[in-house]
Structure formats: C-alpha cells, structure tokens
Structure 1
Amino acid sequence: MFPPQLNRIFYSYNLLLLFLLCCAGPAYGQGAFSHQKFDSILLKKTESLRIQGDYENLVRLNKDYLNLAEEQNYKEGIILCYINISNISATIGNYKRGLSYLSLAEKELKTVNSSVLKARLYQEHAQLNGVIGLYKSALDLNTKGLYYLKNISNQDKRKFYLYRLYANRADFLYKANKADSAYIYLQKGKRIDGQGVLLNTLLAKHHLMYTKRKDSALIYLQKASGKIVNTGKVNVQSGFVDLTYGDYYFASEDYKTALEYYSKALDYYSKTNRLYNIPGVYESIAKTYRMLNEPQKEEEAMQKYREEKTALENIQNEAINISIDHMLSDKDEESNGFQKKIYFYIGFIAILSLVIFILLYRHNRALRQKKNQFKSEALSLKSRINDSFDELVGLAKKNDSTFLTRFQEIYPKFCPRLLEINPRLGASELTFCAMIKLNFTSKEIAEYTFIQHKSVQQKKHRLRKKLNVPTEQELFIFFDSL
C-alpha cells in the first residue's frame, strides 16, 4: 500500500483525470475516441495497481470511473468497471461479492453488443469458478470466452485476451488432472507471447511435475523472474514465481533454499491477501520441514495449513451455492425464451396454413435428430458417470474436502433439486445426502465421517423432516428417484 500522503496525491490525480475526461467528452461529441480513451486509461491503471496488490486504490479508481461512466451513460464503461471490481473482490477472497458484480455486468451486457466485454466477462466468470473448485464449469465458461474472441477485429486486444484465456485454460486443465491438454494450451499461449510471467511460470511447473526436467524448469523460471517489474512495491506475480522456485529447490533436494522461497511466497500472498494460494504454501512448508527433520515446525505448518484450508472451504462453499443458484436462474431464462418461441410458431402456423405442413415436417425431422443426439449424449453421460463412481466412493471414504465439488460435476442436477425442496440445506447436509445417494450404509457413513452411528441416524431423521420424506420410504430410494 502507498503511504497516506501518496494515497491523497494519487486520489487527487484521479479526480483531475476524471475532470479532463468529462471535459473531453463534449468536445468529441461523446464519440468513440473519448470512449476509447476511457477504456485504455482505466485498463492500464487497473493492471498496474493489480500487479502491485494495491487494492485500496484499485477499488477507489474503478468506483471513480464507474461514477463517470454512469454520468456519461457509457454502458461499456459501466460493464468494464463492474468486471474489474469483481476481479478485485475474488482476488482477495470475497467470492460472494465477485459473483454479485459479475451478475450486474451480465445484466448490463444484454443491452450491449460487445465481443470484447463478453470475452472478458466469461474469462472472469471462469476464473471465479476455478478458484472455488468448479473446474468443469470454469472450462465451459472459458470456452465461451474463446468463442467471442473470434469476433474481435482489433488484433492487439484479441492477442491480449487470448493469451490470458489460454493461460487460464491450462491452469484449469491441470487442476482437472488433464496435464497433456494443459500443455497444449501453454504452447498456444507461448506462440502469442513467450515472455509473460504467468505462462513461463506454468511451463516451469509443468516440467517440475511431469517431465522432471529441472534444467528446463529453471530456464522458464529465470525468464519469468526477468519480466517482473521492480517498482519497490509488492508485486503479486512474485508470489507465484517464488512458490515455483521453492518447488524447484525442493525437487533438487536443497530444502533450506526451498524453505526460503516458500517463506517469500507466503509473505507476498499474505500482503496481497491471496487467500486461495495460502493453504498450499503452508502445506509445502510442512513437507520441507519434514525433509529437514524438524517435526515440531512441520506440525506448526500443518496446523496453519488446516486452519487456512478450512477457512477457504467455508468461503468456497458459500460461493458454490451462489453459483448453483445462478445456473438455475439461467435455465429458467432459457425455458422462458423457449416458451416465447413456441407461442410465436403457434401464431405463425394459424395465419399461414400452407406453411404448416412444411414447418411441421422440418420441425419433426429436427426433433428426431435432437432425440437421437440426446440418446447418444445420455449413453455417453451414463458411461462417464459409471467410470467416475469409483472415484467418488474413494473420495468419500477418505472424507476428502473435494468430494462434494466432484459429486456436483458428475450429478449436476442432484443438489439443485434438493435446494428446490429446501433452499436452507447447507454444504455438510448436501454431502450427507450425496453419500446416501451413493448407497453408503449408516455404519459406513459413521466410519468415514468420524462420527457415531447414533449421530448418523439423528441426521437422517432431521433430513426426512427438512425434505418431507415419509418414514416408510427409504432415503436411498428417495434420493435415487431425484
């Protein structure tokens, strides 16, 4: 953060800049030039402050520009500010507020035809889903972002966003255990800009984890380090680079140097409030102390890891519930749109009787194709679910925190259906329902969740009341019918 005096100077400078922009608007007739100036200055300043981790001035900057955009009725500027504020919120772990501002941007974007903003919106939405563990949703949203990039005529903007979408996609694919596909997108990003900090660090990490070529990893790390701008302030990119340097020295069995880099990474992430990254750093520190044969420090680091991981999971679970609500809302809108089309066709058929036969013929043919496609997709889905069943059972037996997230990816309609019946169900209750859905017995649930058999029976009794399940009906049968 800047000292208080510099903060005031920075704020005064922004006010002056906003005044000049306001004065420039009428001179250019509210034309494209003034809008372009608004976008370029805002993006440049936002990126600079984001890298420094100066979130206080970053929020202030975007709120000032939001006020200006609203005064000038500049819709694209309003949307851009909403997306920026969402990114800031998600970066510091406020996923709920991040989703809220993305919803505002999405609502405004329905009235604007901008491929650039649509690509940016889906990029941010994908990143937010990625940090809360919904990697399949993140990849789907990333695909939409890539689709809209095709319609961007400005090649500089296209390359700017394409590079980031490729890097994000690679990160999501790594998290989804698809390293080969991830590496393909890293290479695509490298062809656009082979000097970026994020991409070179991801390439270094790939060689450390998969090819085991430490020499190649070091080359990419040195490239990434060389591109970090030293401004004398905290640089958020340094955290990821130092964390990967720690992994490099750990793989080289230089544990003391590894510990130094892990500590530096932790310091960067703590100063920039990067909650998503902190648990993993503590886990790496604990592993390093284990190799240094310092059990007390190892346990202290593991305790911090557990505390930070639990705190992060609580935030993530709340965001997952909001994300589920958003998906349900989107489906309702799609259903309403489909109904309007039906009404239109009915009216059209009533007027043009001659066209009825042709339309019905084409409609029935398309419907048959859709049914065949649906059957094919259903068979494919059934096969994937069968392949994933053993994975889910394994996660449940280990009481793994990612069990519910993975379950929702494989059975996407199950939790939303339960929340329709009772919206107040919490993440732990959804996990309990998921285990019953997988046909775990009460005894098994008690064993794997480390609670007494009696407590499992009490939970089942409470669930019956919350879901209005008759006592004579088996819970497994009720959940299976969903």
Structure 2
Amino acid sequence: MSSPQYLSSRVYHSYNRFLKPLLICMIFSVGLVYGQRSFSPNRFDSILLKKTESLRIQGDYESLVRLNKDYLNIAKENKYKEGIILCYLNISNISSTIGNYRRGLSYLSMAEKELKTVNSPVLKARMYQEHGQLNGVIGLYKSALSLNSKGLYYVKNVSDKDQKKFYLHKLYANRANFLYKDNQPDSAYYYLQQGKKIDVQGVSLNALLARHHLRYTKRKDSTLIYLNKACKRIVNTGKVNVQTGFLYLIHGDYYFEVGDYKEALSYYDKALDNYNKTNRLYYIPGIYESIAKTYRMLNEPEKEKEAMEKYTEEKTALENIQSEAINISIDHMLAEKDEESNGLQKKLYFYGSAVVIAIIVIFFLVYRHNRSLRQRQNEFKYEAISLKNRINDSFDELVTLAKKNDSTFLTRFQEIYPDFCTKLLDINPKLGASELAFCAMIKLNFTSKEIAEYTFIQHKSVQQKKHRLRKKLNVPTEQELFIFFDSL
C-alpha cells in the first residue's frame, strides 16, 4: 500500500508534467479569446512582450513556444503584420537559445521578409539584434558585430523611450560579448560602460563587468562587487532561472582564480545543471573544460580525464550543430547580396540610357572647354598620389620600427607627427619618453596584445599602463584611448 507521502509526490510530479502545461494553456486561451473581442495592437505587443520575457527568464520554453504560436494566429487573423513579425522573432530567439539554430534562422528569414513591407525601427532593431546574437553563438563574430551595428542604427530612430532603452541595453551587452570573443576587450569594456549608463543594475551588464575585471584588470574585489549587483537583480520565482547560469559560471572562475578549487567545482556543477535544464548548449562544453582544469589543480587525474571526455563529446556535438547553422547563415548572406545586386542592376538598366547620354554630353563639354583645367587637375592628381605614397611609406616605416622595438622609433614618430608629443606634454609635462612611445603605438592603432608582444611585456602590464595613462592625461573611462589620441 502506498504511503500518503509517496502519493503526494506522485500527484506533484503528475501536476508538473501534465496538468501544469494544460493549465497554462487554458489561461492563455482565455486571455486570447478575450483579446480577440477587442483587438488592440498596443495591448497585443505589451502583453506578449511581458509574458514572453517572464517565461524566458523562467526557462519555460514549451510554454513560450505555445504562447507565441497562439499569438501568431491572432496576429494573422487580424492581419497585424507587426504582431506577426514580433512572434517570428520571439520563436527564433527561443529556438536559438535551446540550440535549434536551423529553426532560429528560418524564423528570422520569415521576419526579415515581412519587415520589408512595414516601417518599424523597433522591429528592425530587434531583428538585427536577434540575427547578430545568433551569428555570435555559432562563432561568426565579425558578422555578428556588423548586424549589431545595424541594430544600433535603427534603435536610434525608436520614438518610445522605454522601448529604446530596453533594446539599446541588450544591443550594448551583445556587442560587448562579441568584442570579447573577437579579442577586443578594450572596446568591449567601452560598450559595457555605455550600457551601464542606461541601466546601472542590469543583470547581464554587471555579470559581464564582473568577468572583465576577473580576466583583464585582475581586480577580484571589483569582480565580487559586480557579481553581487547582478545577483540582487535575479528574479526569484522558485524555478530554474536562465540568468543564474552565467553568474554561477563567473563565481566558479572567481574561486578558481583565488585557489579555492572545491568551491569552484561547486559553482561549475551548479552552472552545468542550470544550462542542462535550460538547454543552453552553447555554454556546456566550456564548463566541462573548466571542471577538467579544476580537477587537474586538485590532482585528480581520473576525474580530469572524465571531464575532458565530456568536453570533447559536447564540443563535437555543438560544432556539428554550429557548422550546419554557419552554412545556412552564409547562404543567407550571399542570397542577400545577390538580391541587392539584382535590384541595383534593374535600377541601372532603367536609368542607363539617360545616364549615358548625360555623361556623353557633359564629357564633350568638359573636353572642349576645359582642356587646360584638365591638365592642371592631372598635375594635382600626380602630386596627391606622390603625397599619399610618401605618407604610406612613412607610416609603414613607423610600424616596422615599432615592431622591432627600435630605439629610433619615437624620434622618427616625432618627425612625422611633430605636434602629437607637444600636445601630450601640454596636458602633462611629466610624461617620460617610454610613455610617449607607448602613446605613439596606440596612436598607430596597435592592439594591447601587439604592444605586449613587440615591447616584450605581459598583456596585463599593457592594461595597467593604459590605466595609468588615463589618469595622467585625464581621459574619461568611457572614451577609448585610440579615439582620444587620434583627436589630437
């Protein structure tokens, strides 16, 4: 005979597995029926976005898909194109989040096709944000940054302040993440600061700032400060929260860095459990790799080997999914370029005759009446080419001297850019020759990694030098040093 406790447990599991999804569906259905009686685009958007965000944070993807497909039917029945696009974008996001990149790209393509018929900056910003994010998780970081730039362009034209803030915050966080993956930590930090101005307490931005200080500035106290800020904003619903996985991962990295390997393992296990429950396939191989490194520090070779085997297995599975998505994404980009090219050809064909006639007439008149002017223009052209060659030769010479760490680098730099060091010394007369040479390398657009390599110092020493220079030259933290030096 079953005990009351056992029966209670079975009832609870039955509720979670069968009754709960049915109950959610019934609640949504009642809301949808009511909504159809008095359809309002603003109410449609507001309710859908709130419900989608709530379920996304909870990781309830089954209910998310059902919700958006139901709302998609309503949008189609009411011929509400913006609503159709919004549902497509939501389903694309859900699909990509759980590793179904093919379906994510498919719904993005449908959204993009519909967007050609409407003028909605906010939906275009959202579409490019989602497209950029999807390209980021499959490793196409250059493409992700390009798409993100388009999203930032459109979000500036969004009139609603709350919507503009919401999407700008996401675009800045995404861009910072792509820049980290593309080995541009300084630029990434700049966009984190831009996002922080919009939402000081944002979970994703504070989590990324915590990771930045842990990896690049090595300020562990700052890491904990930003981690605590992010943790305070986590919505506690009693369910698995997708935002906590990344925070567990950073906590694990923090304890690894301070040498508390058992605590690091504890947090890595929590992160792994969270990502498994929320189907975040993208992060799982990296966690197994971190677990393997931790077992190595604990001198447990068998567990290290087991974790590395899981890492290889998960990484291979993810790469197979990513490869398929990369091919689809590249095909999409090529098709888009072909479409642009075909459209251009049609326009050229349509206006071709008029343009050719106009060019012939103008050319004849210019040739007949301005031969002497043409001669002078040719002279100027030759002079410009000569000047350009001299500038390019000088720039190449400076780069070569810098790469060789040649002692004559600064002297030659001052000959080519005579005002640069003078203006720096006007700001701070106490700058030394080594600091001026360091500034010159940044002016020539050398990355931190390249400066470290050519001057034979560690990457973190370059970061420290940059930090000290900011103080000496009063450069704001939100402004990149290259931009500051270039403006001089």
TM-score, normalised to structure 2's length? Answer: 0.71
Q: How does 1:194-343 map to 2 (within 5 A)?
A: 194-343=200-349
Equivalent of 1:19 in 33, 47, 59: 33
CA deviation map 1:246-281 (0-9, x unaligned):
011111111111100000000000001110010001
Runs of 4+ displaced beyond 2 Å: 1-4, 346-350, 352-361
Quote how far apart the aligned CAs of 1:324 are.
1.1
The answer to whether the aligner puts 1:63 opposite 2:77 as a matched pair is no
Amino acid at match of 2:37: C
Amino acid at match of 2:29: L
SS at match of 2:207: helix
SS at match of 2:331: helix
**What corresponds to 2:362 in structure 1?**
357
Amino acid at match of 2:161: Q
**What corresponds to 1:4 in structure 2?**
18
**What corresponds to 1:145 in structure 2?**
151
CA deviation map 1:55-84 (0-9, x unaligned):
100000000000010000000000000010
Q: Number of paired residues?
A: 360
**What corresponds to 1:114 in structure 2?**
120
Quote how far apart the aligned CAs of 1:192 are.
0.3
Quote how far apart the aligned CAs of 1:357 are.
3.3
In angstroms, what is the RMSD of aligned CA positions? 2.5
**What corresponds to 2:88 in structure 1?**
82
CA deviation map 1:303-338 (0-9, x unaligned):
000000000000011011111111110111111111
**What corresponds to 2:440 in structure 1?**
none
The answer to whether the aligner puts 1:102 opposite 2:116 as a matched pair is no
SS at match of 1:296: helix
The answer to whether the aligner puts 1:125 opposite 2:131 as a matched pair is yes
SS at match of 1:133: coil
* In 2: Cα distance, 1:59 partner to 1:94 partner: 13
CA deviation map 1:218-273 (0-9, x unaligned):
01101111111111100000100000000111111111111000000000000011
**What corresponds to 1:49 in structure 2?**
55
Amino acid at match of 1:15: S
* 1:181 to 1:359, Cα distance in 2 relative to 1, 3 A: farther
CA contact (8 A) 1:190 1:199 kept: yes
* In 1: Cα distance, 2:364 partner to 2:328 partner: 41
CA contact (8 A) 1:96 1:319 kept: yes
The answer to whether the aligner puts 1:184 opposite 2:198 as a matched pair is no
Quote how far apart the aligned CAs of 1:349 are.
4.8
Amino acid at match of 2:362: F
Quote how far apart the aligned CAs of 1:346 are.
2.4
**What corresponds to 1:454 in structure 2?**
none
CA contact (8 A) 1:287 1:298 kept: yes
Gaps of 5+ in 1: 26-33, 388-482
CA contact (8 A) 1:122 1:141 kept: yes
* In 1: Cα distance, 2:350 partner to 2:230 partner: 57
CA deviation map 1:119-165 (0-9, x unaligned):
00000000000000000000000000000011111111101000000
Quote how far apart the aligned CAs of 1:344 are.
2.4
SS at match of 1:43: helix
* In 1: Cα distance, 2:134 partner to 2:179 partner: 15
TM-score, normalised to structure 1's length? Answer: 0.71
Q: Percent identity?
A: 69
SS at match of 1:284: helix
Amino acid at match of 1:130: G
**What corresponds to 2:471 in structure 1?**
none
CA deviation map 1:344-387 (0-9, x unaligned):
2125458x8699639999xxx9xx9xxx9xx99xx9xxx9xxx9
Equivalent of 1:39 in 41, 45, 51: 45
Gaps of 5+ in 2: 1-14, 367-376, 401-488
CA contact (8 A) 1:83 1:101 kept: yes
* 1:349 to 1:295, Cα distance in 2 relative to 1, 3 A: closer
SS at match of 1:228: coil
Equivalent of 2:171 in 159, 165, 170: 165
